Structure 1
């Protein structure tokens, strides 16, 4: 019997603004408490839970510690990622901006708006790019402390790339809205979903990231016309 059974986080368990890491903790691929996670535990969780390649998993673990300024620390807690402008950022797909309060708990209304960007019942690169643009324009209008420069732009594109490459790996980089809703709102693996059949490597993630950045630029140019 698998030991990786979904459990709802306890009252004192730590969680992050990243749905994927929260899912991994909810299934025990990471410590369920969300505390005292080493780089090797983080990398192993990404490999075992999402079939990230060894290179990608270790890069993401290292880069996460680096962005948090904790390269010399042995461990992190998931809620360390709540710190504004380090890994967490404004114009998130599923979290409110820091200016509006809770920047780390999933906002169901934002998820619903994201799902409305579906194309034939699926979320793909176009859907995520369009919703990123909607979120960014909302933040520009209503968030007087908005911070959005190249680092945040790359983070946003990278997160969308990872989402499609991990959760949409077996379905041509598309995700059915019913499955994505479960993953984002309830931080569970959807029924019928399976982790990528082939290990997700650095190359496809970078290629997808570049494609997102290109789409962002196209949307920006279109808005300026």
Structure 2
């Protein structure tokens, strides 16, 4: 992959839109999908997910279909805008690791990264995060909902949360199976490809993602 030339990092400008997902925002910031974040076709999303992140076609298709079916409010043939994926409690959910919760009654959640949450996450895990750490971080954020007297995540959004950190681990782990703090700061905090990122040599399958996601869930239950 290339992060230079036509695929150099460019932060979103005025009128550009982004989602709550660092993986998709990074693709837009590097021009692998429309830099504006608007009118993105299902085929271009699937192609980028399989090419740049080496997700299997079934996994990429499942993720993209879920986004379109849940959040696309117009003609599917015209594509989707990334900010549509911020529709609250569709795919997006409270207790994001690095985004604020949706305001009460809001139809859409914030898409801007909360750098205070990024700093807190990385200060807690300065040596990076393995599977156990990612599970603990998710559990801690979900416990904050109870402390703030907000509704607990439902089962569907709990599973989505497990899946998000599972993909983070599968995509960004190093050869010690740890996602380094610097890697997360660049991907979560800046929404750019980390300096150390290389396309995974092993295709990330739907079954692989499900297995790691289930393990995240089991670890979180042990914390509870």
User: How many residues were matched structurally?
Assistant: 217
* Residue matched to 1:64: 67
Cα offsets for 1:34-54 (capped at 9, x unmatched):
001111111111112212122
Q: TM-score, normalised by structure 2?
A: 0.89
Runs of 4+ in 1 over 4 A off after TM superposition: 69-72
Alignment root-mean-square deviation, CA = 2.0
Counterpart mapping for 1:106-145 below 5 A: 106-118=113-125, 121-144=127-150
* Residue matched to 1:158: 163
Report deviation, 1:67.
2.4
Q: How far apart in 2 are the matches of 1:130 and 1:187?
A: 23
Contact 2:142 2:152 in 1 (8 A): no
Report deviation, 1:143.
4.4
Q: TM-score, normalised by structure 1?
A: 0.89
Judge which range, 108-117 or 31-40, deviates more: 108-117
Q: How far apart in 1 are the matches of 2:186 and 2:99?
A: 16
**Runs of 5+ unmatched residues, structure 2:** none
Give SS of 1:115's match.
helix
* Residue matched to 2:27: 24
Cα offsets for 1:168-218 (capped at 9, x unmatched):
2x5354211111111111111111321212221112111101101111211
Q: How far apart in 1 are the matches of 2:220 and 2:179?
A: 20
* Residue matched to 1:46: 49
Cα offsets for 1:17-40 (capped at 9, x unmatched):
111110010111111110011111
Contact 2:102 2:110 in 1 (8 A): yes
Report deviation, 1:165.
1.0
